[in-house]
Amino acid sequence: MKKNVAFFLSIILCIILFSCTNGPSQSGQETQKNTGDTTRPSWALLPFVKTDSANPILTPGTGTFYCPVKKANVLWEQKDVFNPAVAVRNDSLFLLYRAQDKVGKPAGTSRIGLAVSTDGVNFTRMPQPVLYPNNDAFKKYEWEGGCEDPRLVQDSTGTYFMTYTAFDGKNARLLVASSQDLVHWVKHGPVFAKAFGGKYLNAWSKSGSIVSIYSKGNITAAKINGKYWMYWGDKYIWAATSDDLLNWQPVEKEATDTTTSAMPFYGADIHLLKPVIKPRNGKFDSDLVESGPPAILTPAGIVLLYNGRNVTAVGDKQLGEGAYASGQVLLDKANPLKIIDRLENNFLKPDKPYEFTGQVNQVCFIEALAQFKNKWWLYYGTADSKIAVATK
């Protein structure tokens, strides 16, 4: 994945100097509130307002990429772009997003693209993906489904760490990569490969949200009681700990805990893991919960923004069947497994045409949160097809 550094630096310089655009020229005026909670507890990050004047801010593109696995050129972001991660660097906002072609199986191969903005709304894309399946040691995990759904933090030295989902067409695994510049990435493989003798290596795992401190635009992974913490999962949300942000150990239940966790969790003993956040009957998150952006370490506790899927028979009658909406939960910063409070209702839900219709209908899926230009920017996938933004 080696590229010419000077070439990419020149592209970034052009972005900053000339403000090339990939979307509407409007400034992104906030026009519509979209919060389901009226109580707004002091710990919650509310309200977010969709930037209707500019959304969707990123749509499928026509860029060509030589795929080293297929040994052929592909239109790597022709089908859909969605579910991004975000970082602020050099007074610009860097969006790492999932892009799908139309030729891979089962629904198109996913690669991670990079787009840069000086205003948070208008983006210039890099011509090539920055993370993708290759003929390397990780091809067996990433091909042919690809590299999906990144989340992004940095450590105290400024090194970036991306958790992402590798999909081989049958099984999803949570992997990690690192970078010094957001352009060149080193893959480190499955995050659970070494945990408990490797028994979770082939487990269905995804959506790694690392607890972090948000300050001056940076999202820096924070240690709690000497360990990094990560929330992960897409039925329940579980937890894992790490010493180095590369190798993670899932938190298992205590021997005295006999509660069951009924869900398909391929290749692992799901009953051994300790669920932290579960779906709720009668709510927008009645079917599943899934981690969102990197969790926020605050004086009040750990604030996790998450995604919930609805089933109307047991869930929110006001949301459609299978709709994805967004929630928030507060966890104890001294004990990251303990829930202190949780919003009763969603704060972001699909209500726009581009959120209702796409590869998967009725979806607002959050993964990217940043402080930029004195605002909070929340980027999210819409109907697994496009990318939109809401601000606070």
Q: Can you give the pLDDT at residue 267? A: 53
Q: Can you give the pLDDT at residue 24? A: 33
Domains identified in the chain, total number: 1
218 neighbors 297 (Cβ within 8 angstroms): no
Residue 247 lies in a domain: yes
Helices (H), the chain: 5-18, 139-142, 353-356
Residue 293 lies in a domain: yes
Residue 295 lies in a domain: yes
Alpha-carbon gap, residue 115 to 104, rounded angstroms: 23
Residue 13 lies in a domain: no
pLDDT in tens, 119-138: 999 999 999 999 999 999 99
Q: How confident is the model at residue 86 (pLDDT cuts 50, 70, 90)?
A: very high
Q: Can you give the pLDDT at residue 105? A: 86
Q: How confident is the model at residue 115 (pLDDT cuts 50, 70, 90)?
A: very high
Alpha-carbon gap, residue 59 to 38, rounded angstroms: 32
Q: Which domain holds residue 224?
A: 46-391
* 346: nearest Cα among 52, 44, 32: 44
Tokens found for residue 385: 């097809």
CATH number (domain holding residue 243): 2.115.10.20
Residue 24 lies in a domain: no
Tokens found for residue 206: 């995804």
pLDDT in tens, 28-51: 333 334 444 446 899 999 999 999
Region at 258 (left for phi over 0; alpha for psi -120 to 50; beta for the rest):
alpha
Residue 145 lies in a domain: yes
Q: Can you give the pLDDT at residue 273? A: 93
pLDDT in tens, 140-154: 999 999 999 999 999
| Phi–psi pair at 196, nearest 5 degrees | 50, 45
Alpha-carbon gap, residue 324 to 310, rounded angstroms: 7
pLDDT in tens, 295-315: 999 999 999 999 999 999 999
3-state SS, residue 300: coil
Strand partners, 238: 232
Residue 15 lies in a domain: no
Residue 284 lies in a domain: yes
